Each structure stands twice: as structure tokens, then as C-alpha cells.
Structure 1
Amino acid sequence: MSDAPSGPAVPPRGLLVVGDVVTDVVARHRGPLAPATDTAAEIRTVPGGAGANVACWAARSGCADVRVLGRVGRDALAWHERLLRQADVRPLLVADPGAPTATVVSLVDTATAERTFLTDSGAVLRISPADWDPAFLDGVGRLHLSGYLFFADASRALALTACRSALKAGIPVSLDPASAGFLAELGTERFLAAADGVEALLPNADEARLLSGVAGPEGAAAALSRRFPLVAVTLGAAGALVAVGGEVVARVAAPAPDTAAVDSTGAGDAFTGAFLAALLAGAGPVEAAGAGCRAGARAVTVVGGRPPLRD
């Protein structure tokens, strides 16, 4: 047997996403909704949830070990587990005995691809520290938290528990604020206090404005990067900003979609998943933001928030 040293240890490359697993009902209509009568629409039921979407896009972007922890109703547990496995994501789903799976109705105007959400959180926000196991972090190089968890007491406690476990193990944590509307309800100071210790903050422009109190996206990104080591602000079709140490270090352009945009649902989740997969593969923040922008451009060409399943 050789006594030669085995060389430096390979850093763990797994990604654990803790967040929401949701059933999406996507209704695509053209033009304004007609009040008090019918509006023709194409309606599909698809798997969704920001946390699960991020995990699926990370797996599609090359991360070989992706896990997602979430709470769902018994009504759709098997369906969500099956579809996550088909997307090369390991489901760590808790079945809630008393609440249905969260459901989001996404109203998409086909003329603009913009969407409006109606959200029933169901079992999502009933996840709690009792659902956490530090063993979930074995082999994990990054923990990502969906901001939706921060908007209820039990799920926020779970997010804080997971964050503390990761930081104790030396694992960096990222956070997507998730919803400008829910942020305004909770209060930015409460959210920022709960996010203490997060390494990478990944807001969109509206969320960055709310959290920083600065109107312009560049100023908001710079301000937030004085509190968080790495900030990437998504700008939709305009790409993304990367800020470090109180200044914007790059503005990354988004490529034009290969085909016409049909649904902007999940574009930010696609950015986050590809961004995190790139960081785990050793990319720097600007290169990772480029990968995120390319994934976001692909995401708007499909209905729903996840990449198409491989053939």
C-alpha cells in the first residue's frame, strides 16, 4: 500500500434548497381580464414553488447533487416527489397531515408574458424546526433559503435553524427575498434581522429597493452589499447587477431568448439556480451571474417555473 499523500480534499459540491414546493395553476390569457364574465385562457397545472424551481434549475445547470426540503400536503406528495426525481433533484419532503399542498394561480398575459400571482400557502409555511435534521447538510457546499419561509413564524424559525446549522458547519448561505408584497407586510427590518449571516442575497429590483430604501437598482445593490458580502440583483430582460463591498462590480447583460417569451414565471428562480450551480463549480460571481442570465432567458420560453424534463 502506498504511503503517498492523497492530495487536497475536494470541497463538497452539493446544494440544499430549503423552501416552497407548490402546485401551480397557470392561466395564459391575451389582454385584460373581462370582469364579471368569461375570459378565454389556456390553463395548465404544473409543479412549481420558488424553492423547488431553484433546485431544478441548479440540477439542469450541472449541479450533480441537489436536494430540496419542503412541506407539502398528502394530496400531492407522490406527484411532487416523482417530478423532482425526474428533474434530478433529491426530494426531502415532509407530508403535512392537516393542510393541502400550496397552490399558486398564475395569471399570465400572453401579450406581455407578465404574470400576477394568487397564492394559497397551504402546507408551505407550516414547516418548522422539527422538520430539520443537520444530516441534510452532509456533502453540501451551499445552503439556499427561499424568502417565502420568512413570512410566517414557524417557517422563519426553520429557516433560522437551517442557517445556523450551515454557518456552524462553515457552509455559505444564500437567500432570495421572494416577494416584494410579502416583504412590505413583514417589514424590511424584521426581514434583514432574520437574514443575519447570509452570504449572498439575490433580490429582484423591487425587492432590492424595498430592502435598501434606495430607489435606483445600482444604488440599491451597492447599499445591500455593505450588509451582505455578495449581492446579485436581477433586472429581468435587462440582466443583472453584481455588487460586492459597497459597489457594483458588474452589470451583466441578458441574452435574447431563442424563441418568443411566453411566461416570465420562474425566471428569477432560473437565475438563482444557475448562479448557485456556477458558484459551486468554482465560478466567480460575475461569471455565475452570466450563467444565471442565460438560464433566465431560457426560462421565459417555457410555461411554468421549471426547465423541461429531459427526454
Structure 2
Amino acid sequence: MPSPADARAGGAPAAPVLAVVGDLVEDIVVWTSEPVRHGTDTAARVFRTRGGSAANVAALAAGEAGAPTRFLGCVGPDAAGDALVAALERAGVDARVQRRGTTGAVVVLIDPAGERTMFPDRGASAELAAVDPAWLDGVAWLHVPLYGFERDPARTAVLGLVAEARRRGLGLSVDASSTGLIAGLGADRVLALLRELGPQVLFANETEAAALGLADGGAPAAEAAATFVVKHGPEPTAVFERGELVLRVDVDPVEVVRDLTGAGDAFAAGFLAATLAGRGAREAVLAGHAVAARVIGVAGAGVGASVNPS
């Protein structure tokens, strides 16, 4: 893992910068207040927010966890792209984007219990081309949601960025992101990719861990990442080191759970910010829980996610 801080010449240590590469899209969040009535109207509230797993992590790490953060991605040369970049910058993120195609959008259907069903159109996010290596200057850690490896050209661009991060000795984390994505790519292919990348940290929820055959740790988990963090909703979060279970951390009860959109991204943001600040695994997990708790009671990926200034 990289040092938590590099000294500025003649000054105080520089805070380590977290870079996140991947999707920046508009989330159209639909809160249903009754079971969906197929073929007719269903009572609902609709919100438009900044979304995309990578953008969520960047915004929450900067805005909620206070970590210097940089986002790397692609949006369209359109009004939606302008608004999303501006929303990231209001959250304190150093946003560096390519512009091509049409900005993506995701319809997120939230049932009354807070569970989400997503209909993604990644748009320009999937059109990310080769990234300028200078965009990693000053960075200590690179975080990559699995969505970035879904298809080319973004897949090749992200692999090139990871290779550059490795050459520079940066830390690397990967989020398993989605059981649907794992099924689409194939679990064996995802595991082979993880072995190739060799991340310091892999994040997954319990269903993603099961889809990859890693839920119980052991040799497969050890090959996938040095540290494997498995979230179990309100149940304790498990941390595996080299495939061995080393920690279970209880989750404090949350009074209101209305929208689970971005909860995993929020956890990653808090965990990585704490890790880069030099805190241990238990403190990092608790920091992840704290940021996630602030997200799941509001629409979309948390406070400040609106694409319009307020």
C-alpha cells in the first residue's frame, strides 16, 4: 500500500489523492409507494440525481469523507454532461473528463423497502478512450468499479490506466459492482481478471461474493485480492486477509432505510478515505458504515447528488 502522505517540499505532508475511474451518468430515481401495477399507473416520486458507481465514490469520498479525490471518465458534449460535471465539482471533486457520444442515464426503481432495480444506459461512460497518464499525477490510490471492464473501448482504456497505476506503485481497489454484470461477463472471466489485476482491496456484497464463489474466503479469495471486504446489509461486515477471515464488524442500526442506491459506493468511499488517512481495517469499515448510513435515507447516491444547485 502506498504511504498515506508524501511530503511537499518545504511544507506539510500532502494528503493522499484518491482517483476513481468509471461512470458518470444521470440517475432517474423512481420511489414507488405501492406495488408496481403492470400496464397502468403506479404512484411514485421521481428524482434526478448524479449517478454512476465511480462518480458516487468520488463525490462521497470528497464531500462526506473529506478526502482529496479525482474523477476520471467520459460524458457527452451536452447539457446533461455539463450538469453532472458541475455537480461533481460542487462536491469538491477534481473532475477530469473526455467528451464524446451522449451522456448516459440509469432508471432506478426503488420499492417501498428501499431495494433497487436498475435499467442502465451507460452512454458515453462506456466510450472512455485511452486516458492521459498525467491524470494520475499526484494520485496515491486508484479505485475501479467492475463496470469499467464491461466492454470496449472503456475496458481497454481502464486496463491501460490500471497498468500505469501499477507502474507508479499506486494502491488499487476494485468493486464487484453487480450480480447482473458478473453473470454477463462470466464469473470465471471476472476471477481471471482479478488475478491479473491483483488489487489490494476487493469490495463485494454477499450476493456478489456468492456469484464469484468467494463468500467463504479461502484460496480463491486470496487469489482475487489481498483484502476482501464482504458487506452483508445490516449484518456484520466481513474482512478477509489473504483468504482468511480476520474481522467481523457490526453495523449500527439505521432508523430510516428508503433508498439503497449508492450504499455500496458510499461504503467504498468511507473505507478508502480512512485507509488513505492511515487507519486500520476496523476503523476503515466503520467509516464505510458511517458514510453508507447517511446515503440510504435519501434519494439516489446521497446528500449533494442533485444535478441542480440547491
With normalisation by structure 2, the TM-score equals: 0.89
| Residue 62 of structure 2: aligned partner | 59
Whole-angstrom CA distance in 1 between matches of 2:88 and 2:218 = 33
Structure 2 CA distance for partners of 1:222 and 1:248, relative to 1, 3 Å? farther
Whole-angstrom CA distance in 2 between matches of 1:155 and 1:287 = 34
Q: Aligned ranges for residues 99-248 of structure 1 at < 5 Å?
A: 99-110=101-112, 112-129=113-130, 132-195=131-194, 196=196, 197-211=198-212, 213-214=213-214, 217=215, 219-220=216-217, 223-248=220-245
Give the AA of the match of 1:268: G
Structure 2 CA distance for partners of 1:62 and 1:294, relative to 1, 3 Å? closer
| Residue 24 of structure 2: aligned partner | 21
State whether residues 240 and 293 of structure 1, in contact with CA within 8 Å, keep that contact through their aligned partners in structure 2.
Answer: no
The alpha-carbon deviation at position 28 of structure 1 amounts to 0.4
Structure 2 CA distance for partners of 1:31 and 1:114, relative to 1, 3 Å? same
**2:99 aligned residue (72, 95, 98):** 95
CA shift digits 1:3-47 (9 cap, x unpaired): xxx899947600100010010000101232101111011011111
State whether residues 199 and 224 of structure 2, in contact with CA within 8 Å, keep that contact through their aligned partners in structure 1.
Answer: no
Count residues with an aligned counterpart: 296
Structure 2 CA distance for partners of 1:267 and 1:52, relative to 1, 3 Å? same
State whether residues 48 and 306 of structure 1, in contact with CA within 8 Å, keep that contact through their aligned partners in structure 2.
Answer: no
State whether residues 228 and 243 of structure 2, in contact with CA within 8 Å, keep that contact through their aligned partners in structure 1.
Answer: no
| Residue 277 of structure 2: aligned partner | 281
Whole-angstrom CA distance in 1 between matches of 2:49 and 2:120 = 15
Whole-angstrom CA distance in 2 between matches of 1:179 and 1:297 = 20
Whole-angstrom CA distance in 1 between matches of 2:261 and 2:201 = 22
Whole-angstrom CA distance in 1 between matches of 2:136 and 2:15 = 10
Over the aligned positions, Cα root-mean-square deviation in angstroms equals: 2.1
Whole-angstrom CA distance in 1 between matches of 2:133 and 2:223 = 30
Q: Aligned ranges for residues 227-306 of structure 1 at < 5 Å?
A: 227-257=224-254, 259-306=255-302
State whether residues 222 and 243 of structure 1, in contact with CA within 8 Å, keep that contact through their aligned partners in structure 2.
Answer: no
State whether residues 147 and 177 of structure 1, in contact with CA within 8 Å, keep that contact through their aligned partners in structure 2.
Answer: yes
Unaligned runs of 5+ residues in structure 2 are 1-8
State whether residues 16 and 143 of structure 1, in contact with CA within 8 Å, keep that contact through their aligned partners in structure 2.
Answer: yes
The alpha-carbon deviation at position 228 of structure 1 amounts to 1.1
Structure 2 CA distance for partners of 1:234 and 1:148, relative to 1, 3 Å? same
Unaligned runs of 5+ residues in structure 1 are 1-5
3-state SS, counterpart of residue 229 of structure 2: strand
Give the AA of the match of 1:282: G
The alpha-carbon deviation at position 147 of structure 1 amounts to 0.9
222-231 or 135-144, which deviates more: 222-231
Give the AA of the match of 1:104: V
Structure 2 CA distance for partners of 1:8 and 1:84, relative to 1, 3 Å? closer
Whole-angstrom CA distance in 1 between matches of 2:241 and 2:228 = 7
| Residue 34 of structure 2: aligned partner | 31
CA shift digits 1:122-162 (9 cap, x unpaired): 11111122xx1111111111000121011102111111111
**1:80 aligned residue (74, 81, 84):** 84
Whole-angstrom CA distance in 1 between matches of 2:285 and 2:106 = 28
State whether residues 17 and 67 of structure 1, in contact with CA within 8 Å, keep that contact through their aligned partners in structure 2.
Answer: yes
Give the AA of the match of 1:89: V
3-state SS, counterpart of residue 190 of structure 1: helix
Whole-angstrom CA distance in 2 between matches of 1:194 and 1:63 = 31
Give the AA of the match of 1:46: T
Structure 2 CA distance for partners of 1:199 and 1:81, relative to 1, 3 Å? same
CA shift digits 1:49-70 (9 cap, x unpaired): 1000001111134344201011
State whether residues 236 and 248 of structure 2, in contact with CA within 8 Å, keep that contact through their aligned partners in structure 1.
Answer: yes
CA shift digits 1:198-252 (9 cap, x unpaired): 21111111111122x25xx3x1477413431111111122242111022111111
Whole-angstrom CA distance in 2 between matches of 1:80 and 1:101 = 9
With normalisation by structure 1, the TM-score equals: 0.89
Structure 2 CA distance for partners of 1:252 and 1:134, relative to 1, 3 Å? same
Whole-angstrom CA distance in 2 between matches of 1:72 and 1:8 = 37
Matched, 1:41 2:23: no
Give the AA of the match of 1:84: L
3-state SS, counterpart of residue 105 of structure 1: strand
